[in-house]
Amino acid sequence: MKEDIENENEDVGQKKEEDEENNYTSKIEKLNEYHLEHKYLFRVCLLGNAGVGKTSLITRFCDNIFKETYNNTIGVDFRVVTLKYNDIIAKLHVWDTAGQERFRSLALNYIKNSHAFIFIYDICDKSSFESLSGWFNLALEKNKNSIVNVLIGNKCDIADARVISQNEGEQMAIANNFHFLETSAKNDENVLKLFYYITYKLINYYNENEYVENDNIELYSGQTEELPTSRLNENKCKC
Ligand code: GDP
Ligand code: MG
């Protein structure tokens, strides 16, 4: 009897946690005020082959627009977004990295200092899916401290040309212990959810663990360290 009650309490606790996870989108807001004092500054880095939609996802999230063509991102670019959750203000620095090899050494600095990674493939491009392990290795070898990792199958609006099933994406995420979502930057599907999930997880994590702000990441360090290109499936990169 006592055991039953204890099990029941455990179930209720777990249910509450699940409900809260499912509700995070309604508790977070994106603010248009940029000068509010923040409690946390989080760096989020987007990685994946050229053409998968990194810039499009960021532009959808930050400006709520979608363009059919973007110039290739040169090097690394970043946007700042202010978010509020339970009266806590967090700033996200969202890093957009170029897929081009000659700029990868530049991306290293950001990779090393990220709190979260978003790994992206295009559900219509098999090579972008096959390149993922190279991106995982690169990021997680250089940064063992990332708190949240999310795998994204982008362009889920194009059903006809899909070559990677949702299940394949999910399995890849489960195998690596990542959160998984399919998104469409074009149709605005799951884009807010993606960034809200990361914010929610990071705030919860740092509410319980020590947080030290480090806003002193050098933009151009002159670092020449080469990245492990052989593992990044260069031949299949579209750029
Ligand atoms: P990046 O190289 O990873 O930054 O990719 P871009 O954001 O530049 O996008 C590459 C191309 O894919 C562009 O022509 C975008 O318009 C297109 N694209 C990006 N996201 C989506 C999406 O969700 N759906 C569709 N149909 N096209 C997309
Ligand atoms: Mg880009």
Q: Per-residue confidence at 211, pLDDT binned at 50, 70, 90?
A: very high
Nearest to 58 by CA among 80, 36, 33: 80
Where does the pLDDT of residue 237 fall: very low under 50, low under 70, confident under 90, or very high at 90 and above? very low
pLDDT above 70 covers what percent of the chain?
Answer: 74
- Ordered by where they begin, the domains of the chain are 2-236 (3.40.50.300)
| pLDDT tens-digit series, residues 70-120 | 666 666 678 999 999 999 999 999 998 876 555 666 677 788 889 999 999
Cα of 62 vs centre of ligand 2, distance in Å, is 14
What is the distance between the alpha carbons of residues 80 and 91, in angstroms, rounded to a whole number? 7
Give the mean pLDDT of 9-34: 73
Range with lowest mean pLDDT among 84-88, 215-219, 220-224: 220-224
d(CA 73, CA 188): 21
For ligand 1, whether the C-beta of 50 sits within 6 Å is yes
Model confidence, pTM: 0.84
Q: Which residue from 45, 46, 54, 56 has its CB within 8 A of the most atoms of ligand 1, so it is best to mutate?
A: 56
Binding site membership of 157 for ligand 1 (Cβ less than 6 Å) = yes
